[in-house]
Amino acid sequence: MSMSWLWGGNKQPPLPNQFNDFVPPTGGTADGGASGGGGGDDDKNKDGAMKSYRFDSSALERAAEAAKSLEQNPNAKECLELSRQQEITKQNVLMKEMKQYEVHIKQAEIERERARGEEEQKLLKEKAVLERQKSLFNDKLTRQRNEDTLEAQRRLNEENLRKQEESVVKQEAIRRSTLEHELEKRAQMDIKRIEQEVLSKGKVERDNHDLTLEQIRLKAKEDRETRMESIKSIGALVGSGLHIFLGDQQRVQMAVGGLVVLTAGYFTAKGALGIAFRFLEARLVKPTLVRETSRLSLLETMKHPIDTVKKIRWRLKGSQDTLKGVILKPNVEAAIRDIALETRNCRKAKGIYRNVLLHGPPGTGKTLFAKKLARNSGMDYAIMTGGDVQLMGDKSVEAIHKLFDWARTSRRGLILFIDEAESFLIRRHSGISQNLRDTMAAFLSHTGDHSDRFMMILTSNIPTVFDEAVINRIHDAVEFGLPELAERTQLVGHYFEEYILKPAATGKWRIKLDQGNWTDVCKEVAKLTEGMSGREIAHLALDWQMKTIVTEKGELTKELMIERTMVAMERKKKTLLWKKAQQDEQSQFSSALVDAVKAAAASAPLHQKNNDGSPTPSAS
3-state helix, strand, coil in the chain (%, to 5): 70, 5, 20
Ramachandran category for residue 336: left, alpha or beta (phi over 0 → left; psi -120 to 50 → alpha): alpha
- Whole-angstrom distance, CA of residue 459 vs CA of residue 423: 11
For 289-481, which CATH class?
Answer: alpha beta
- Whole-angstrom distance, CA of residue 478 vs CA of residue 463: 11
Which amino acid is it at 268? Answer: T
- Whole-angstrom distance, CA of residue 115 vs CA of residue 121: 10
DSSP string for residues in 27-62: SS-HHHHHHHHHHS-HHHHHHHHHHHTS--HHHHHH
Which whole-number Å values give the CA distances from 194 to 120, 201, 207, 209, 584, in the listed order? Answer: 107, 10, 19, 21, 79
383 backbone dihedrals φ, ψ, rounded to 5°: -115, 130
Name the least confident of 40-54, 181-195, 368-382, 593-607: 40-54
Which amino acid is it at 616? Answer: T
* Predicted local distance difference test score (pLDDT) of residue 293: 83
| Of 34-38, 199-203, 222-226, highest mean pLDDT | 222-226
500: Cβ contacts below 8 Å, ≥ 6 apart: 511, 513, 541, 544, 545, 548, 556
- Whole-angstrom distance, CA of residue 604 vs CA of residue 598: 10
20-37 core/surface letters (b: 16 or more CB in 10 A; e: else): beebebeeeeeeebbeeb
Residue of higher predicted confidence among 144 and 368: 144
The pairs formed by 339-345 with CB atoms below 8 angstroms and a separation of 24 or more are 339/373, 339/476, 339/478, 340/372, 340/373, 340/376, 340/377, 343/373, 343/376, 343/377, 343/379, 343/415, 343/455, 344/319, 344/376, 344/377, 344/378
Same fold, 289-481 and 487-598: no
Strands 380-385 and 290-293: antiparallel
Query: Band of the pLDDT at 612, cuts 50, 70, 90?
Result: very low
DSSP string for residues in 304-357: -HHHHHHHHHHHHT----TTTT----HHHHHHHHHHHHHHHHHHHHT-----EE
3-state secondary structure (DSSP) of residue 385 = strand
Tens of pLDDT, residue by residue over 456-468, are: 989 888 888 888 8
355 backbone dihedrals φ, ψ, rounded to 5°: -90, 140
pLDDT for 599 beyond 80:
no
Tens of pLDDT, residue by residue over 383-411, are: 888 888 888 888 889 899 888 988 888 88
* Predicted local distance difference test score (pLDDT) of residue 220: 86
Q: Give the residue among 477, 370, 366, 359 at the shortest CA–CA distance from 415.
A: 370
Is residue 326 within 8 A of residue 365, CB to CB? The reply is yes
Q: At what angle do helices 330-349 and 366-377 cross, to 10 degrees?
A: 30
Which amino acid is it at 181? Answer: H
Among the four given CATH numbers 1.10.8.60, 3.90.850.10, 3.20.20.140, 3.40.50.360, the one describing domain 487-598? 1.10.8.60
Average pLDDT over residues 321-336: 75
* Predicted local distance difference test score (pLDDT) of residue 105: 92
pLDDT for 345 beyond 60:
yes
Which whole-number Å values give the CA distances from 135 to 49, 128, 506, in the listed order? Answer: 56, 10, 77
Query: Which residues sit opposite 293 in a β-bridge?
Result: 382
Containing H/E element for 139? helix 76-207
At residue 412's C-alpha, the angle toward residues 406 and 415, to 5°, is: 65
Name the least confident of 18-32, 160-174, 286-300: 18-32
Q: How many residues does the chain have?
A: 620
Tens of pLDDT, residue by residue over 152-188, are: 998 999 999 889 889 888 998 898 888 888 888 888 8
Query: Band of the pLDDT at 598, cuts 50, 70, 90?
Result: low
Averaged pLDDT of the chain: 78
Is residue 376 within 8 A of residue 322, CB to CB? The reply is yes
Is residue 333 within 8 A of residue 348, CB to CB? The reply is no
Domain boundaries, the chain: 4-155, 289-481, 487-598
- Whole-angstrom distance, CA of residue 100 vs CA of residue 30: 11
State the Cα torsion 510-515-517-521 to the nearest 10°. Answer: -50
- Whole-angstrom distance, CA of residue 428 vs CA of residue 431: 7
DSSP code for 394: G
Query: Which residues sit opposite 426 in a β-bridge?
Result: 466
- Whole-angstrom distance, CA of residue 316 vs CA of residue 308: 12
Name the least confident of 216-225, 341-350, 363-372, 461-470: 363-372
pLDDT for 376 beyond 50:
yes
488: Cβ contacts below 8 Å, ≥ 6 apart: 526, 529, 530, 532, 537
